[in-house]
A and B are shown apart, each in its own frame.
Chain A
Amino acid sequence: MPGDLVLEVRDLKTSFQLHKQDYRVLHGVSFEVARHETLCVVGESGCGKSVMTLSIMGLLPENATVQAQSIRLDGQELTALSPRQMNKVRGRKMGMIFQEPMTCLNPLLTIGRQMTEGLKLHLGLGKEEARRVALETLKQVGVSNPEERLRQYPFQLSGGLRQRVMIAMVLSLNPRLLIADEPTTALDVTIQKQVLLLLRQLKHQLDAGVLFITHDLGVVAEIADRVIVLYAGVKVEEGGVRQIFEQPAHPYTIGLLAAVPNIKSEGYTLSPIPGTPPNIAQAIEGCRFHPRCGRATDICREQAPALRALAPGHSAACHHLEVRP
């Protein structure tokens, strides 16, 4: 895995200015994505997972400040790039798929136009050549009669199809990193399954890593190789997908797994995590999870825990990690 890293993020801190006040959303998050790997970022609303992807893409609004020790994409340091240079990387080397397929495509332009503009811009392809590539990628993501689709407008396609078009649009440029921000949340379960399977197949075919954002642990189990759990802007646990689901260490991860009503389990009891996720305006001393944590003691209220390694590739940030046999 080392040496084959597609994305390396060190100490990412993002904050927003609102009414002349600074609100920090990400409190120093580090992670990396390797080639042919899917890294899932899970967390509840407001944990900063979307802000994280937008920080990497450089798509945040102007009132946001991104600070990071380093964001390396395929060996290239992104933090040092000018906006113009960033435009060359964005779309070309990293592509992004969003949550709402209904609104993510321009309603007034044909699918063909929207698919080919990136190809023309980044690869300098001619009209015909770009069209051919677009057709091929549409076929690759399982879109039926692609010729016709290229002529159609977004409103003529269903949600599942639009999401496939979005995926094709990103893949046609053969990026090194694919960022997917809740790409299946707005889809029905049967369509979601189709799209997830597609993404899993593509992962093997592509020369890229996938950064997959979701709040749905079921989706994580299905698609992830590695998982990081984000809570209130802090990475609380990181591990392989089996480690996270079978030996979760952080109380938040454990609580989250227990709260999901699982259709395959019997005798499930509703066990919520008390309280609500904090909003960004709330300042929390010590461990950011302690107000909702059953294990919290004085040290949790005073001192933020550091990440501790539990097993190779598995670490968690908690003062009260149970020693694993």
Chain B
Amino acid sequence: MSLAPLMTLNKLKKRFPLGGGRSIKAVEDISLTVFQGEKLGVVGESGCGKSTLGRVILQLYRQTSGACVYYGKSLQEARPRYFAREVRKLPRYQRRADKAYQRSLQVEDQARAARAHMEEFSAQASHRETRAYNRWSRRADRQAFRALELRKQASRQLREGSRTVGSLILSKDLDQVQQLYTQALHQLTQAHQARRQLLRLGRLAPAYLPDSEKDMPEHRAAAELAQRRMNQAMDSARAALAQAEGMKHQNLLMLTERCGDPAYWQKLDNNQESGINLGKLSGRELRDVRRDLQMIFQDPAASLDPRQTVGRAIEEPFRIHTKLDKAARKARAVELLEIVGMKEEHHGYYPHQLSGGQKQRVGIARAIALHPRFVVLDESLSALDVSVQAQVLLLLNDLQAQFGLTYFFITHNLGVVKHFCDRVMVMYLGHICELAPAKPLFDRPLHPYTRSLLASVPVPQVPEFETDEAPLMGEVPSAVSPPGGCVFHPRCPDMIPICQAQRPPMVEAAPGHSVCCHLYTKDSLEEVAHEPGPAL
């Protein structure tokens, strides 16, 4: 497993408004990196937001806030329109940041003036004077607060800009930077067109197709021309971007007091997105990226049209996304059926003629038809019998090895997660509780919720002694008004006072093992090291 990120979620939030100012807080501030080729298990009880999260990532629901950045395609390949828009907005970010900062300086002066006024009052002040003193004091506080807010606003603007150009947002020659980027974008458009043409000619077909399909002599000349055009355009685009890159950290505009700090430059550079912000894509661009992102649903029967043959269902993505002719589509569909362990004869079957496991195989075939990179499996195995479940898991393992797929495996079945996934994320009421590689998570769960969850799972072994106490009492609270502080505190067996007041931060309690719980924050971390949690 390589450690290249494929998808980054940044403070992703999804709320479903209910009217009356209330909303279902389905997903709250999820930050996560999914790496290429990993099988990430997402577990939690119903209502924990795992399904919503999967759908938000695929942009089936648009996020309320936060970002979902996809690295499987470069910005050049996808050429999203929002990027050009952001480039146009660069000077505006800089201007606004400057304005906010200048204003904050003024407000600070006013605050200082107010403080000065306060000092004029004597110690034995009259009632009236005390009132005036209080007034000035309040004003000073207010101004100081405002100045702080303005400062934040300034850095927010800079941060927004840095998403596109990194620390170049601080450059005095932003106009020139903008020009270079626009130029690069223009070249990228050219490259993109050439690329589309190549795709149309079947030159850039997915890697698993036989070579004979890709090479059609009659188009060779056209293809070569397109290829040349694409390379040229890409080269000049790269040159323009490199030129812009060369201007980094030079000739800085002192927008705020941190502008001279190399650490801050680094921070801004890190902000620069090399991936595609899925939430900012237009519908059409999204459809293009969707080839890479697929979903396999829970109910194999409901996700297939009963009046459509299996073959048609599998060919559908080809009809939408490619220009393959009928015969080629059918050949591809049969090939896919064989990949998922079915036979050619199934091509003409209707869904009602298939068993549950076979329907799910068809769903898988359809999902991998366009050679995706990121597959969300939403309880995909839950409707299957255990004996068949294992078959499908084996198939998923094979496919992953063969095509380098990345799985976002949403399920409530912890047994499957333990034996199938590389990494596991435990969710509760829209929050991440714990995120760790599968083995440590099951061997030594840290979060109290994970522990109770694992203790609740029925195991196919006769227990040595009967317990009478359920590991977790009560039920999941409503996501409309979740508890304050740590959302788990009302049911937590290990609750400490701070849990009611403060939301715990995410801490890395062991390498790669993150947990969101006050028991593991800095002060208590040492104790934990000596006192391992109960082994399960």
A contacts, CB < 8 Å to B: 44-45, 158, 160-161, 188-194, 196-197, 200-201, 215-222, 241-242, 245-246, 255-257, 259-264, 268, 270-274, 276-277, 279, 292
Give the chain A neighbours of B469 by CB distance below 8 A: 197
- Chain B: minimal CB distance from A198 (Å): 9
The one of A44, A197, A256, A279 in contact with B470, judged by C-beta atoms closer than 8 angstroms, is A197
Q: Is B148 an interface residue (CB 8 A)?
A: no
B418 proximity list for chain A (CB < 8 A) = 261, 263, 268
Q: Give the size category of B's interface with A.
A: 35 or more
Query: Which residues of the partner chain A approach B394 to less than 8 Å between Cβ atoms?
Result: 270, 272
| B46 at interface, CB cutoff 8 A | yes
Q: Which of A193, A268, A292 contacts B472 (CB 8 A)?
A: A193
B415: contacting residue among A44, A262, A273, CB under 8 A:
A262
Pairwise interchain contact B471-A260, C-beta atoms closer than 8 A? no
* Contact A241-B462, Cβ < 8 Å, known A194-B470, A256-B387, A276-B355: yes
B460 to A197, Cβ gap below 8 A?
Answer: no
Asked if B389 is at the interface of the complex by the 8 Å CB criterion, the answer is yes
CA gap between A279 and B394 in the complex, in Å: 23
- Tell me if B9 counts as interface (CB < 8 A to partner A): no
Given contacts A190-B45, A190-B456, contact A272 B419 (CB under 8 A): no
Is the beta-carbon distance between B387 and A44 smaller than 8 angstroms?
A: yes
Given known A-B contacts A256-B386, A263-B414, A263-B442, A189 and B45 have beta carbons under 8 A apart: yes
Nearest CB of B to A253, in Å: 11
Contact call A272/B467, Cβ cutoff below 8 A: no
Nearest chain A residue, comparing its CB with the CB of B43 = A189
Q: Which residues between 115 and 167 of chain B lie within 8 Å of chain A, taking CB atoms?
A: none
Determine whether B2 belongs to the interface, using a CB cutoff of 8 Å to chain A.
no
Q: Residue on B with the closest CB to A271? A: B390
A215 touching B385 by the CB < 8 A rule?
yes
Is B386 a contact partner of A260 (Cβ separation < 8 A)?
Answer: yes
Is B391 in contact with A262, judged by CB distance below 8 angstroms? Answer: no
Sample of 16 further A-B pairs with CB below 8 A, known A193-B472, A218-B459, A262-B461? A190-B452, A193-B470, A200-B466, A218-B415, A219-B458, A220-B460, A221-B460, A222-B458, A245-B462, A261-B415, A264-B459, A270-B393, A270-B394, A272-B388, A273-B390, A279-B355
Q: When chains A and B are docked, how far (Å) is the Cα of A45 from the Cα of B389?
A: 12
Contact B459 A262 (CB under 8 A): yes
Within the complex, the shortest CB–CB distance from B345 to chain A, in Å, comes to 16
- Partner of B420 from the list A188, A201, A261, A272 (CB cut-off 8 Å) is A261
Q: Which of B457, B461, B536 contacts A245 (CB 8 A)?
A: B461
Residues of B within 8 A of A160 (CB): 475
Are B462 and A158 touching (Cβ within 8 A)?
Answer: no
Q: Is the CB of B387 within 8 A of A190?
A: no
A196 to B461 alpha-carbon distance, docked (Å): 15
A277 partner, pick from B387, B454, B455, beta carbons under 8 A: B387
Indicate if B358 sits at the interface (CB-CB under 8 A): yes
The verdict on A270 contacting B536 (CB below 8 Å), with A221-B462, A261-B416, A263-B442 known, is no
CA distance A196 to B470 in the complex (A): 9
Q: B residues touching A (Cβ–Cβ < 8 Å)?
A: 45-46, 355-358, 385-391, 393-394, 397, 412-416, 418-420, 442, 452-463, 466-473, 475-476, 536
User: When chains A and B are docked, how far (Å) is the Cα of A180 from the Cα of B469?
Assistant: 22
- Chain A proximity of B330: nearest CB distance (Å): 25
Q: Which residue of chain A has the shortest Cβ distance to B439 in the bound complex?
A: A266
Docked pose: A69 CA to B279 CA in angstroms = 65
A189, B457: Cβ atoms closer than 8 Å: yes
Task: Offer 20 A-B interface pairs, CB within 8 angstroms, sorted by A.
Answer: A44-B387, A190-B453, A190-B470, A192-B456, A215-B385, A220-B460, A221-B460, A221-B461, A222-B463, A261-B416, A261-B418, A261-B419, A262-B460, A270-B390, A270-B419, A272-B391, A276-B355, A276-B357, A276-B388, A277-B387
The smallest beta-carbon distance between A6 and chain B, in angstroms, is: 22
How many angstroms from the CA of A292 to the CA of B416 in the assembled complex? 23
Question: Smallest CB-CB separation from A197: which chain B residue?
Answer: B470
The chain B residue with its CB closest to the CB of A189 is: B456
A271, B388: Cα distance in complex, Å: 10
A197:B355 contact, CB within 8 angstroms:
no
A274 to B468, CA, bound (A): 38
Asked if residues A263 and B454 are in contact (CB atoms below 8 Å), the reply is: yes
Query: Is there an interface contact between A45 and B356, defined as CB atoms closer than 8 Å?
Result: yes
State in angstroms the CA–CA spacing of A189 and B458 once bound together: 8
B45 and A188 within 8 A (CB) = yes
Verify A273–B458 contact, CB threshold 8 A: no
Q: Nearest chain B CB to A48's CB is how many angstroms away?
A: 14
- A188-B46, A263-B418 known; A197+B387 contact, CB < 8 A: no
Query: Which B residues are CB-close (under 8 A) to A218?
Result: 415, 457-460
Q: Which residues of B contact A215 (CB under 8 A)?
A: 385-386
A270 near B397: Cβ-Cβ < 8 Å:
yes
A73 to B387, CA, bound (A): 34
Chain B residues, CB < 8 A from A276: 355-358, 388
Answer whether A259 and B457 are a contact pair too, CB < 8 Å, given A188-B412, A246-B462.
Answer: no
With A and B bound together, what is the CA distance between A194 and B455 in angstroms? 12
Task: With both chains docked as a complex, state the minimum distance between the C-beta of A203 and any C-beta of chain B, in angstroms.
Answer: 11
Query: Pick the contact of A44 from B386, B460, B536 — CB < 8 Å?
Result: B386
| Min distance, Cβ B6 to any Cβ of chain A, angstroms | 24
On chain B, the residues within 8 Å of A161 by CB distance are 475
Please tell me if the beta carbons of A196 and B45 are within 8 angstroms of each other in the complex: no
Cα A304 to Cα B390 with chains together (Å): 28
What's the Cα separation between A244 and B459 when bound, in Å? 14
Task: Check A259/B475 contact, CB under 8 A, given A192-B456, A194-B470.
Answer: no
Cα distance A279–B385 in the bound complex, in angstroms: 13
Instruction: Report the nearest B residue to A43, measured CB to CB.
Output: B385
Closest chain-A Cβ to B38's Cβ sits at a distance in Å of 18
Bound complex: CA A194 to CA B412 (Å) = 17
Min CB–CB distance A299 → chain B (angstroms): 23
Assess the B462–A193 pair: CB atoms within 8 A: no
**In the complex, the 9 A-B pairs of residues with the closest C-beta atoms, listed nearest first:** A218-B458, A272-B390, A261-B415, A273-B387, A188-B45, A44-B385, A217-B460, A272-B391, A193-B456
Within the complex, the shortest CB–CB distance from B521 to chain A, in Å, comes to 25
Kindly provide the distance from the CB of B396 to the nearest chain A CB, expressed in whole angstroms. Answer: 10
Which residues of A are found within 8 Å of B412, using beta-carbon distances?
Answer: 188-189
- Measured between beta carbons, the chain B residues less than 8 angstroms from A158 are 475
B471 to chain A, nearest CB (A): 6
Which residues on the B side are within 8 Å of A221 (C-beta)?
458-463
Give the shortest distance, in Å, between A210 (CB) and chain B (any CB): 15
> Are B390 and A259 touching (Cβ within 8 A)?
yes
Complex interface: chain B residues within 8 A of A274 (CB)? 391
Which residue on chain A has the smallest CB distance to residue B476? A188
Whole-angstrom distance between the alpha carbons of A277 and B384 in the complex?
Answer: 11
Q: Complex: how many Å from CA A45 to CA B386?
A: 10
